[in-house]
Amino acid sequence: MSWEFDHVTLGQRVRFGTGKVAENVAAEVALFDARRVLLVAAEAEDEPARRATADIDVAARCADVRPHVPVDNAHRAREQAVETGADLLLSVGGGSTTGLAKAIALTSGLPIVAVPTTYAGSEATNVWGLTEHARKTTGSDDRVLPATVVYDAELTLSLPVELSVTSGCNALAHCVDSMWAPRTDPIDQALAVEGIRALAAGLRAVGQDPAGVDGRERMLYGAYLAAVAFASAGSGLHHKICHVLGGAYDLPHAATHTAVLPYVLAFNGPHATDAAMRIATAFGGAADADGAVAGLLALYDELGASHALREAGLAEDVIAEAAGLVLPVVPAGNPRPVSEADLTALLTAAWAGRDPTSLRP
């Protein structure tokens, strides 16, 4: 890769402190001099929402959170923001919650203070996504970038190990895709490699001690690095596949990313040898393309993570259709040329959970 590049770092404040969510949220509300805070939090996030808002007043709450942000939900949330007279959005939850807050900000310009309870990473990007008629549309707009992210590892303690694993593997996918995405540069790659190291270590620690905060702090740190790299590098082949699958077939976001990742890594790795070697080293494996896949699969085996798309809910009889939907959005600069037959083979192998190295050229 050429060392001539144009890198943009998005402006955002991060407050990181275990057990300090209420204090840090109150400080942000004061900085914005906000009088009408609209809390965006699903009903399932009652406890973290209560903790995050312990020291502030909330004007109203929007709990109409759904995966992939359906357009109708976005319309209702935007109307509520207007009716409330909101001057600040406080999102408490995972990627779907942050996504709904972004949908409001996209048309209103309201600032967002994001309090993540998973490792989705949406809080650190200027990427929005909306789903209508089974098709997910994404875009970038600085209006949707949260002004501040408040991280508190205690808020992730209620996240079961299984969901922590898929959410963490979703963050790993941000890192891997950032190694060869359309706008990647050496800064993005450095962030992504460190993100892989932190996430792999954090995932293992959470698996061994789900009630401990050390592993969860590492995962939040890694998820943030992953998202910052992804925001700059853009969506690579992996994310294009997963966005199509999620929007068209309403698949769970994190589980879909977890299943697809080894196959895209095996498909692209031999054609991006430097990136693959760095990924492999970050996983602690042999520094080659095979080492990257082996390192990821070893982590999956240790965590009990699935790389079978059928377990994420994809029906086998839609694979050909899905390949046709993905093909038009494949990034032009993907390390390996991609045909519809390639996509069908990749999705078929991922559906069955077969050995990803079968996709090698």
Is the pLDDT assigned to residue 359 strictly greater than 90? no
CA 50, CA 15: separation in Å to the nearest integer? 18
The pair of three-digit structure tokens given for residue 158, joined into one six-digit string: 């209620």
Is the pLDDT assigned to residue 85 strictly greater than 80? yes
CA distances from residue 337 to 75, 181, 303, 354 in whole angstroms, order as listed: 39, 14, 32, 22
Report the pLDDT value the prediction gives residue 146, as an integer from 0 to 100. Answer: 98
HEC secondary structure over 309-347 = HHHHCCCHHHHHHHHHHHHHHCCCCCCCCCCHHHHHHHH
Model pTM?
0.93
Residue ranges in the chain assigned as alpha helix (H): 21-32, 46-52, 71-84, 95-108, 161-178, 186-208, 214-233, 237-249, 253-268, 273-283, 289-303, 319-326, 340-352
Report the pLDDT value the prediction gives residue 302, as an integer from 0 to 100. Answer: 95
145-172 pLDDT, tens digit each:
999 999 999 999 999 999 999 999 999 9
Q: Which backbone phi and psi does 312 adopt, to 5 degrees?
A: -85, -5
pLDDT > 90: what percent of the chain? 88
First to last CA, the chain: 22
Assigned CATH for 13-156: 3.40.50.1970
Which residues is 114 bridged to in the sheet? 91, 149
Report the pLDDT value the prediction gives residue 8, as an integer from 0 to 100. Answer: 86
Three-class DSSP category at 5: coil
Report the pLDDT value the prediction gives residue 175, as an integer from 0 to 100. Answer: 97
**CB of 344 closer than 8 Å to CB of 319:** yes
Which of 44-58, 98-112, 221-235, 275-289 has the weakest average pLDDT? 275-289
Is the pLDDT assigned to residue 317 strictly greater than 70? yes
The whole-number average pLDDT for the span 239-252 is: 92
Which of 93-107, 126-140, 213-227 has the weakest average pLDDT? 126-140
Report the pLDDT value the prediction gives residue 358, as an integer from 0 to 100. Answer: 87
Is the pLDDT assigned to residue 193 strictly greater than 70? yes
- CATH architecture classification, 161-359: Up-down Bundle (1.20)
Place of tokens 């939040």: 220
The pair of three-digit structure tokens given for residue 313, joined into one six-digit string: 């809910």
Report the pLDDT value the prediction gives residue 61, as an integer from 0 to 100. Answer: 98
**CB of 306 closer than 8 Å to CB of 353:** yes
Report the pLDDT value the prediction gives residue 49, as an integer from 0 to 100. Answer: 98
Question: What DSSP designation does 146 have?
Answer: -
Report the pLDDT value the prediction gives residue 130, as an integer from 0 to 100. Answer: 92
Domain segments of the chain: what residues?
13-156, 161-359
7-52 pLDDT, tens digit each:
988 899 999 999 999 999 999 999 999 999 999 999 999 999 999 9
Cα dihedral across residues 307, 308, 311, 313: positive or negative: positive
Report the pLDDT value the prediction gives residue 348, as an integer from 0 to 100. Answer: 97
* Confidence grade of residue 2 (pLDDT, cut at 50, 70, 90): low
**CB of 216 closer than 8 Å to CB of 153:** yes
214-241 pLDDT, tens digit each:
999 999 999 999 999 999 999 999 999 9
Residues in the chain: 361
* Confidence grade of residue 134 (pLDDT, cut at 50, 70, 90): confident
**CB of 171 closer than 8 Å to CB of 226:** yes
Rg (C-alpha) for the chain, rounded Å, is 19
